[in-house]
Structure 1
């Protein structure tokens, strides 16, 4: 329970580089805008005109990834027991889509070894928004995956997931909890999608069409869509914080989603933890608002992802040593330890069963999705 709400200038500023600093958290707040009932009705109408609903377990995983990493990544991570995979050539090299966020079935509380990776539409012509890739890594020698387009259902169909200005959502971080997928909405909070109602569209032969029209259901040529059902936004009287990435911490009571801010050349970027009910999948409200349970000035530049595990904090930062990233391991009150990290490092996912930390690299031609064993700060 928050008894005191900080002034915004009390929860901003810079920290000494490599030293994370705890700040007040009650001034960071979110409000739920829940469209679940209406969105489900809209999705039901779309499904009736398409080929119906399909479960994640039944998706046709039509693409094949290659086990292993590039020679450059292998050299960068030579002091670690690295493991990863590469997208097929088209996805590895495309300049139209950039991978950003990562989560997996262990976040969701499900069995198996499946990952989700978010990509934002950099080409933006037309704006296609966000897609996610479902990756099946159960057999590391036969890695299959499929892209799913995220959409926003409406009374008369659906459209791509865009910002208020009409640009593709950056989707810099994602968290999978039960049937819900949280997608970071940089200036606002989170979008929430229902993965239990994936729809197979009727037509995939026209990559320029989206929505329901002329007896067709199209999604820019994608076979599957997943719909937005809710969003969390910052109220006007709360202190603003950016949502550049997201990760889940199941070790806290209650569990928390950690979000954070990308800042280029200064150490003002902050992290915040948001309480979540793992049983329902929804953030925990206090008198109609979700209040951050803790917050920090991270003391690192160019943060692309972060994880917490109790008092342990792991930060993925890009362009720290020449063109390469670093993975920082830290706690409040101690200097960050450094692990070599990849070129184009992005969001983080913690795979507890293997005790490994993952990231998807973003740059065309260098898109290794890679993991290394977690080390204590």
Structure 2
């Protein structure tokens, strides 16, 4: 199956907020090592088993291929003024999602994370880009729910995407229900059948892509969960993905981790995370240096052991980090504040590259026949570009 990619764009003569100039990389200060043994995870993949079984029995599930067969939003092309170095392709959401002041895209992962390069990187027959979002109760309000967009990135299928609401199971086996998950969803990683969503102060929530629920539509936009008449609604979404487990972080360092974003490293079979912090002057975020930590999966599985100790921990010299990726001993860190992408290896040190504004998460795309890519996105309303650049343009 051929990959639907845009042709690399020519250098742009018109300055725009989304435009990135292509200066040469410059040397930068790099991370230092922290004691990895100070950071641990506790995983529970069965917390909601009973209620989830009842929900599946009551509502039934839709495989990913069915969700995408019913995709009902059109993705659009990147603007011609968007030209970061090494651009390999990408898209925008439809006009409503591109400009929505209540909902913001955050994390990014792909079916290449889930399955690697096997079968063209297809999961259930589709090559997908998945973006996590949070939604506020008003344009300047509080977070009230989180969702995914599943986007076809495959020449075999239309340029479509579908929204899926993230929900937490509630109720009992006799009357199962679910509720909204009001988290920032700053990072998302898909490995095997499991989807990991970062939760700022705690760790990660876990979802199973085989358990997408079919729910009722046609109700009011505020309806969520089981209704008095026995119907099930998810803010008029047709599909809801229930949480299956939790991965909770702990540390003996004296300073809890703030989970800004996550990314999958398929080579070392681990998830890496980093923190969003400020150098000074922030009231909503820590004013200190950030950390990046690597947590390995249990051998031969896409799940963490009941208790996991980190295999690598770093103290970082950069701030306002919304993106992280690691692959084959190399690291990338995206700063929304500095509009820079930092590349680092222990042997070669760090370099700095120009990057996009409103930068969010990063996902590493392995490619067996072409260049490896870095997928990323911008959250700013009106300029929500989801894009891939050739990895080699941002480090060896």
**Structure 1, unpaired ranges of 5+:** 1-15, 162-167
Shift of 1:275: 0.4
SS at match of 1:350: strand
1:145-224 to structure 2, matched below 5 A, reads 145-154=161-170, 155=172, 156-161=176-181, 168-213=182-227, 214-224=229-239
Inter-partner Cα distance in structure 1 for 2:309 and 2:135: 31
Count matched residues. Answer: 340
Shift of 1:64: 0.9
The CA RMSD over aligned residues, in Å, is: 2.2
SS at match of 1:44: helix
2:148 counterpart residue number: 132
1:50-89 to structure 2, matched below 5 A, reads 50=59, 52-59=60-67, 60-67=70-77, 69-74=78-83, 77=84, 79-89=85-95
1:303 counterpart residue number: 321
In structure 2, relative to structure 1, the CA distance for the partners of 1:315 and 1:19 (3 Å cut) is same
1:121 counterpart residue number: 135
Query: Any idea what the Cα deviations from partners look like across 1:167-223, whole Å, max 9, x if unmatched?
Result: x20111111011110011111111101110101102343111101022210001111
Shift of 1:121: 1.3
Inter-partner Cα distance in structure 1 for 2:327 and 2:142: 40
Shift of 1:232: 1.2
Shift of 1:142: 3.7
Instruction: Normalising by structure 1, report the TM-score.
Output: 0.84
2:11 counterpart residue number: none
Inter-partner Cα distance in structure 2 for 1:338 and 1:151: 39
Shift of 1:317: 1.0
Q: Are the aligned partners of 1:19 and 1:333 in contact in 2 as well (CA < 8 Å)?
A: no
Q: Of residues 29, 42, 47 in structure 1, which corresponds to 2:51?
A: 42
1:372 aligns with 2:389: yes
Q: Of residues 93, 97, 101 in structure 1, which corresponds to 2:103?
A: 97
Q: Are the aligned partners of 2:100 and 2:381 in contact in 1 as well (CA < 8 Å)?
A: yes
In structure 2, relative to structure 1, the CA distance for the partners of 1:295 and 1:237 (3 Å cut) is closer
Instruction: Normalising by structure 2, report the TM-score.
Output: 0.80
Inter-partner Cα distance in structure 1 for 2:157 and 2:211: 30
Q: Which stretch of structure 1 is more off in the superposition, 233-242 or 365-374? A: 233-242
Shift of 1:127: 5.5
Inter-partner Cα distance in structure 1 for 2:155 and 2:341: 27
Inter-partner Cα distance in structure 2 for 1:205 and 1:211: 11
Query: Any idea what the Cα deviations from partners look like across 1:77-120, whole Å, max 9, x if unmatched?
Result: 1x423421010000000011100000111111163221110001
2:113 counterpart residue number: 107
In structure 2, relative to structure 1, the CA distance for the partners of 1:279 and 1:223 (3 Å cut) is farther
1:20 aligns with 2:31: yes
Q: Of residues 262, 285, 291 in structure 2, which corresponds to 1:270?
A: 291
Inter-partner Cα distance in structure 2 for 1:82 and 1:114: 16
Q: Of residues 13, 16, 31 in structure 1, which corresponds to 2:42?
A: 31
Inter-partner Cα distance in structure 1 for 2:108 and 2:152: 13
1:143 counterpart residue number: 159
Query: Any idea what the Cα deviations from partners look like across 1:253-308, whole Å, max 9, x if unmatched?
Result: xx11001101123671110000014743211x3xx521110010121111111111
Q: Of residues 280, 296, 302 in structure 2, which corresponds to 1:281?
A: 302
SS at match of 1:248: strand
Q: Are the aligned partners of 2:262 and 2:361 in contact in 1 as well (CA < 8 Å)?
A: yes
SS at match of 1:116: strand
Q: Are the aligned partners of 1:70 and 1:366 in contact in 2 as well (CA < 8 Å)?
A: no
1:229 aligns with 2:244: yes
Shift of 1:41: 3.1
